[in-house]
Structures are given as structure tokens and as C-alpha cells.
Amino acid sequence: MERVINENAPRGHYTPGMISGNTLYISGQTSADPSTGLPAEGGFEAEMQMALDKMDSVLRAAGCGRDSVVMCQIYLTTMDHWDAANRVYERFFGDHRPARIVLPVGPLSKGCQVELTAVAEVAP
Amino acid sequence: MERVINENAPRGHYTPGMISGNTLYISGQTSADPSTGLPAEGGFEAEMQMALDKMDSVLRAAGCGRDSVVMCQIYLTTMDHWDAANRVYERFFGDHRPARIVLPVGPLSKGCQVELTAVAEVAP
Amino acid sequence: MERVINENAPRGHYTPGMISGNTLYISGQTSADPSTGLPAEGGFEAEMQMALDKMDSVLRAAGCGRDSVVMCQIYLTTMDHWDAANRVYERFFGDHRPARIVLPVGPLSKGCQVELTAVAEVAP
């Protein structure tokens, strides 16, 4: 088991990423801007981009690329954002299409409108 | 990493199943009937069966049987459907009992009352 | 694939833990007291402790310690319990900090205020 630490200090008792075998588990990444602690400004698409960028940061810290992601779980406060979420997500991943689930949950911390986790494959 | 494609074309940027090592990750399968895009007709049990059948289709496309499922996540719009969900699920799996969680979430896309994902073991 | 059975008999069609390769998948553990079927008495922190203790029981049945946990998913009925959940969780894990996500979901079965699952690494 190996801890993966990126530049964003966790608030709470967790590690940004954990590797077990060839699998990287990424902790929940909200749309909160690490520099302010508040949701990224600019509306939902900016929030979605922020959550993905924070996930990307954990991937890089583990030596993984975006095309290492095997499964991604996306949690929205309302499915009304599904189209916008999918649009930003598609731009982020390009030709790579991980397995995925998009689910509506309750109000997220600090008013964030999206949080996501992912499982990625680490080269042996 | 290997993509698993079944007969149901994804709406959105994802692959129905992804294999990493000996593990298959199955994307969220709602109770929407692939032929209409709407929730399966016949009430909640018909919807539960539809979601499981769609999961089964991904399993088959990966060369897996139902007894390959290791963990299943079931998302309901209300826990009032727990008993019915468990009943259909038990019939589907028979003697096999994967690890499982059943959770209540918000309103799912297109009025579906259930969505599920699963992790399965792929033979080496 | 290997089934992991602990002392708490499942209500429903599932196994408390399933091992695939070197990975243990733990079924959803609510804050319900196995001896009464009702949420642990004593308020939210007692409920959080109960859910963790039940997870611990599955870990032990699999021959794992708490420091085997790689990723933990925590589901709360309200994020107002985040601080208390984190406090009990930190005490439970000590120096070990798995990857984690904390999400707000709908009303859980039997009035429980927390449910959790985890993925752990099993020694080869």
C-alpha cells in the first residue's frame, strides 16, 4: 500500500490517493477551490472543471495519466447539471472513456455542486 | 486495461465496462429500457429486473457470469423499495451473494427508480 | 473469490465481505445495533462508532487490520455531521489515513444516520 500526496492539503482524516497493488483509489474531490475553500467561481462548468483538475493532480502525483482512469463516480446535487457535467468531462478525457456512474446526492459541503472519485490503473 | 462494449449504446462519455487486471468495473445501469429510453414498464420490480439485466449484458460481454460479481452498489430513489429490490436481486443471483450496499439517492435521470453498478472478477 | 462471514447475520441477500485477488470489498455497514436492529443509542457519534466497529468486525473476519483499509466511503443523512464523523473516524484509524469520500444521501434504513463501505488490501 502506498500513499499518494498532492499539493492540496486534506481537510479531514484522509490521504488524497492510495495505491493497492496496481490500483489507485482517489479520495472525493469537490469543486472547492483549494486557494479559497469555496466552490470555484464561474458557474457549474467551472466547478466541474475544478473537481476534474483536482483529480488530475492526484493522478499526476501517482505518476498516472488521465487515460489511467478505469472508473469514475460523479456526484451532483441535481441531475439538471448532467449535460454540462458530461460536456466538461468529455473535454477532459478526450478519447478515453472510463466506466462511469453519475448520481444525484444531497447538499455537498460548502455549497459545492459536484464531487467525484475515481479508480485508476497504476503501471506495475 | 480493456474496454467492454455490449449492445446498449452509451448516452454520454463512458464505456459500459472496463477491465483492469482481473477486475471488471461496470458503469451505472439504470432501469431505463434501452429501446425506449424510459423506465421499464410494470412498476418497481420490472425496473429492478431491467437494471440487473443490463448489468448482466455487460458481464456477458466481458465473458463473466453472474457469480463473478464481487460487489454490487444499488441506488434507490426511496428505501421503501428495499424489500422489492432485495427480492428481485435474490432471484437474479440465486446462491451467489456478492458484497452489497443499498443507498437512497436523489431523483435519477428520466424518472428511473433504481440504478446500480458492480465490480466483478475476471478469470486471468 | 472468497466469502467473509462475521458474527452479524446479514438481513438481505449479501455477504458481509468478499475477497477478489488481494482486495476485500466490505458490504454497507449501517449504525444499526446488531442486537436490536435499531440505530446505536447515544447520538451521532455512537452511531458512527457502531458502523466503524461493524466494519472492523468484517476486517477481522478476513484477517485484516484497520491499517489494511485502502478506501472508505461514508454516507451521511446530513453533512452537518461531517465534523463529528471525522472526529470518530480519526480516533478509529489513528495514524492510518485511507482514501475517503463523505457524501450526503437520503434517509437510511431504520432511521440510521450513517452507513459506510470500504475496500481493504488482503495480504497475498
Extract the C-alpha cell encoding B40: 421499464
Q: pTM of whole model > 0.95?
A: yes
CA distance B37 to A91: 25
Report the residue from C21, C78, C99 with minimal CB separation from A17.
C99
- Cβ–Cβ contacts within 10 Å for residue A65, how many? 13
This complex has an ipTM of: 0.96
Helix H or strand E encompassing B92: helix B82-93
**DSSP label at residue B81:** G
Report the residue from B1, B18, B108 with minimal CB separation from A104.
B108
List the single best residue of A2, A8, A13 to mutate versus C (max C Cβ within 10 A).
Answer: A13
Closest CA to C120 of C75, C53, C62: C62
**Cα–Cα–Cα angle for A99, A100, A105, nearest 5°?**
160
What CATH number does the domain containing C117 carry?
3.30.1330.40
Chains with ≥3 CB–CB distances under 8 Å to A: B, C
| C contacts of A17 (beta carbons < 8 Å) | 99
- Strands of A31-86, DSSP E: 69-76
Residue located via cell numbers 500526496: A5
Report the pLDDT averaged over residues A54-77. 98
| Sign of the C-alpha dihedral computed for residues B4, A87, B40 and A72 taken in this order | positive
Radius of gyration, CA atoms only, chain C: 14
CB contact under 8 Å between C12 and B119, yes or no, is no
CA distance B109 to B30: 8
| Sign of the C-alpha dihedral computed for residues A9, A12, A18 and A24 taken in this order | negative
**Cα–Cα–Cα angle for C56, C62, C68, nearest 5°?**
65
What pLDDT was estimated at residue B26? 98
How many domains is chain B built from? Answer: 1
Is pLDDT of B97 > 80?
Answer: yes
Q: Does B121 reach chain C within 8 Å, measured CB to CB?
A: yes
SS3 B124: coil
What pLDDT was estimated at residue A124? 84
Task: Label residue B70 by pLDDT band (50, 70, 90).
Answer: very high
Is pLDDT of A9 > 80?
Answer: no
Closest CA to B11 of B104, B103, B110, B77: B110
